Amino acid sequence: MKPNKPVSGLQPRFVLLHHAMEANAGRYDHWDLMLEHAGTLVTFELDRLPSGPGMFEAKRLADHRLAYLEYEGHISGNRGEVIRLDRGRYHEVDLHDSLRADARFEYHLNGQRLTAVLCANQPAFLFPFAQTIHLQAAVWDWHD
| Residue range 120-137: mean pLDDT, rounded | 91
Q: How far are the Cα atoms of 37, 60, 117 from residue 91, in angstroms, in the given order?
A: 11, 19, 10
Q: Answer for the pair 64, 35: CB distance below 8 angstroms, yes or no.
A: no
Residue 10 has pLDDT above 80, yes or no: yes
Per-residue pLDDT, 16: 98
Residue 2 has pLDDT above 50, yes or no: no
Per-residue pLDDT, 101: 55
Cut 0.75: pTM above it:
yes
Per-residue pLDDT, 110: 97
pLDDT in tens, 22-44: 888 778 999 999 999 999 999 99
| Residue range 52-80: mean pLDDT, rounded | 94
Query: 115 burial class (0-12, 13-18, 19+ CB within 10 angstroms)?
Result: middle
Rounded Cα distance, 60 and 63, in Å: 9
Residue 144 has pLDDT above 60, yes or no: yes
Per-residue pLDDT, 41: 98
| Residue range 41-59: mean pLDDT, rounded | 95
Of the candidates 14, 39, 18, 22, the one whose C-alpha atom is nearest the C-alpha of residue 76 is: 22
Of the candidates 68, 84, 115, the one whose C-alpha atom is nearest the C-alpha of residue 16 is: 84
Domain ranges across the chain: 11-142
Rounded Cα distance, 66 and 42, in Å: 10
pLDDT in tens, 78-127: 889 999 999 999 999 887 665 555 557 899 999 999 999 999 988 889 99
Amino acid at 124: A
Rounded Cα distance, 68 and 94, in Å: 26
